[in-house]
Amino acid sequence: MRIIKKAAVKHVLTDKMREKMVSDFHRDQRQLNKEIEQLRFQMQKQWKTADTGWKKTEIKERYDKEIEKRKEKVKHSEFQLTQLEQLPPGTEIGSREVDVIEEVAEGDEWPSQNQEIVVQDGIITQIRNKRSDDENGMV
Q: What is the mean pLDDT of each run of 10 residues along the chain (139 residues)?
A: 89 93 96 97 89 85 96 96 93 89 86 84 87 48
Give exposure, 78-101, as e/b (b: 16+ Cβ within 10 Å): eeeeeebeeeeeeebeeeeeeeee
pTM of the entire predicted model? 0.72
pLDDT confidence of residue 131: 63
